[in-house]
Amino acid sequence: MTVVPTEANVSQVRILVLTTEHADLLWLGALLAGDLEMQADLTWCPDLVDCDDLVRNTSYDLIIWDCIFHSGSESSFLQYLTVSSGEKPILAISAEPHADRGVELCRLGASDYLSRSNLDRWGLRRAVRCLWYRQQLSESAHGQLGRDVATGFINRDLFFDRLQNALIRAKSASQRLALLHINLDDFRSFNESFGYRQSDLLMMRLAERLRSELRRADSLMRIGGDEFAIIIERVDDALDVAHVIRKLVTAIGEPVNVGGQSIVVSASLGVATYPEAGDSPENLLRRANRAMFEAKRDPGTSYRYYDRELHITAGHQLRLEADLRNALRGNELELYYQPRIDLATEEVRGVECLLRWNHPERGLVGPDEFIPAAEHSGLIVPIGYWVIEQACKRLQESGELGHPGLVFAVNLSFRQFHDRKMTETIFRIIFNANIDTSLLELELTESAMMHDPEYAQRCLRELNQLGISFALDDFGTGFSSLSNLQHLPISLVKIDKSFVQDLGRSADAEHIIKAIISLSHSLQISVVAEGVETEGQLEFLRQQHCDEIQGYYYARPMPWERLVEFLNNRDKAACL
């Protein structure tokens, strides 16, 4: 017996079709047409790069995607789709017949997979119907829609699934993952004073704001009346998490406008990271929750890590960065200068500019302690420009004080090469300072150029055309062969101090230094040895015809006034 469906029990299934081919849309429409139980309503989305608006704002029940994404990785597109669609079922239709492909696509977030080559009317209808029923069932099982459009709620089961998938990804990629549990402080009294509608509006505004601080891969969910959960994926270290927290804490602290009123809220953040706080969604959630409750004890917006050690590291890092930001504004940074002596003439050829931080509480802080934090936060970019500016100013001054021709060497961090305006900014600084550019030298390590060698080489060439020269710092510790240097405008190599200090203790150090000097010289590159502390080291380097020496044997890094005295004294001694 067949049941002829009446108009009323024909289900309408709204499908968003992601394909660049209009013919495919027509083909899918034809395969689905005439189904007695299901009436498919297709919306075509031909532009996958610019599909965000359609994916987020159109009403549909499921997505069909043809697995073709021309402008990037298919897997990240699929992950994006899962998140942006609010976990709508995704039916992937791929040209590849292999079963493995289906497994891979489902692992990345697709709900089902069909191979294009044997796709027929029956198979497609069955898959669409099945996904649609499943979606309906899961929604009615929870007594509400998985996502309540009005308030941005997502139910806990969906959230659990998402966390589970994120954990699987983190495990397979051996990466960290952080789960943040954010609870608004004193939300109940807000609710009582302003009512539920306004409270929901407030949560929505906050959600939007938090969302804008996250990367696309991270997911933000409202998991309760006054709480959010955030999954931060692809985390390399605790500092990455610390940065996200800093941004979120700042975002929460900004006033929110609700119904014409400006409201300032505070929140407590609990952080649990995989693997430190466990490897199951249950554990992570419980521990983030516990950390959140601990954070509640501190007044104002505050955060707590479940893992104590991470908490300390992150706290230290965030404080350091905040202090460093103030340091740059508050003139707490200072340059010290360490002379470089020409071995043949015993004259001071130049100075290396070395950064120091006059910390208001901790006193003088060395760069090893704060440069990594400055690099991590990107603060090294403005700090680096400040250093160059300061060096140019002193270069100018040294001429006026009767010491013309001194070379000023400034360290460049790898991170400064990420700034696409680097050449332009350096050019502006030296132009304003009106210096003889042949006296400015930039020191960089091999790793500085690794990130994007082509771009780094272009920067070096452009700056070199302005007259600036380059030194390769810490030479011998990296992987480069000297022959690589031939293609770069490098005129100086600095032998790392670890080799100099091993002289007399290891025969290897002697051999390495000899090799570096003779190879550099054969390429018309000068050599500076760093970290020279003893007469013995000096003599060895002299015998090997090393060009210049830098080290405590002659002078330690010193403030500007002391350097001027040092130069004056040497001049006087030379006249005697």
The contact set with ligand C2E (CB under 6 A) reads 338, 354-355, 366-368, 371, 380, 384, 387, 411, 413, 443, 473-474, 497, 530-533, 550-552, 557
Rounded CA separation 265/323 (Å): 25
> With CB cut-offs between 5 and 8 Å by kind, which of Ca ion, ligand C2E, none does residue 395 bind?
none
Q: Are 284 and 179 in contact (CB under 8 A)?
A: yes
> With CB cut-offs between 5 and 8 Å by kind, which of Ca ion, ligand C2E, none does residue 552 bind?
ligand C2E
Residue 318 or 335 with smaller CB distance to ligand C2E? 335
User: Tokens in use for 476?
Assistant: 């011998």
The rounded Cα 291 to chain-centroid distance in angstroms is 25
Token look-up 């549990």 returns 181
Q: How far is the CB of 474 from Ca ion (least distance, A)?
A: 4
338 is a site residue for Ca ion (CB under 5 A): no
- Degrees, nearest 5: CA angle 563-567-569: 115
Residue 285 or 555 with smaller CB distance to ligand C2E? 555
Rounded CA separation 15/63 (Å): 6
Distances (CA, A) of 391 to 100, 272, 355, 472: 59, 44, 11, 19
Residue 210 or 538 with smaller CB distance to ligand C2E? 538
Task: Please select the residue that binds Ca ion; options are 411, 469, 520, 526, rule is CB under 5 A.
Answer: 411
Residue 69 or 370 with smaller CB distance to Ca ion? 370
User: Tokens in use for 48?
Assistant: 């996958």
Residue 307 or 496 with smaller CB distance to ligand C2E? 496
Longest CA–CA span in the chain (Å) reads: 120
User: Tokens in use for 572?
Assistant: 């006087």
Token look-up 């994916």 returns 55
Q: Are 413 and 385 in contact (CB under 8 A)?
A: no
Q: Calculate the dihedral angle through the C-alpha atoms of 566, 568, 569, 572, rounding to the nearest 10 degrees.
A: 160
Q: How far is the CB of 452 from Ca ion (least distance, A)?
A: 21
Task: Please select the residue that binds Ca ion; options are 200, 443, 446, 548, rule is CB under 5 A.
Answer: 443
Q: How far is the CB of 475 from Ca ion (least distance, A)?
A: 8
Q: How far is the CB of 479 from Ca ion (least distance, A)?
A: 16
Q: How far is the CB of 464 from ligand C2E (least distance, A)?
A: 19
Distances (CA, A) of 204 to 23, 52, 255, 537: 40, 19, 14, 67
- Span of 355-363, 468-476, 550-558, 562-570 interacting with Ca ion by CB under 5 A: 468-476
Residue 233 or 474 with smaller CB distance to Ca ion? 474
Q: How far is the CB of 445 from ligand C2E (least distance, A)?
A: 8
Range list of β-strands (E), 323-385: 333-342, 348-359, 363-365
Residue 213 or 342 with smaller CB distance to ligand C2E? 342
Q: How far is the CB of 366 from Ca ion (least distance, A)?
A: 13
Q: How far is the CB of 497 from Ca ion (least distance, A)?
A: 7
Token look-up 């933000």 returns 220
Residue 55 or 442 with smaller CB distance to Ca ion? 442
**Interface residues with Ca ion (CB under 5 A)?**
411, 443, 473-474
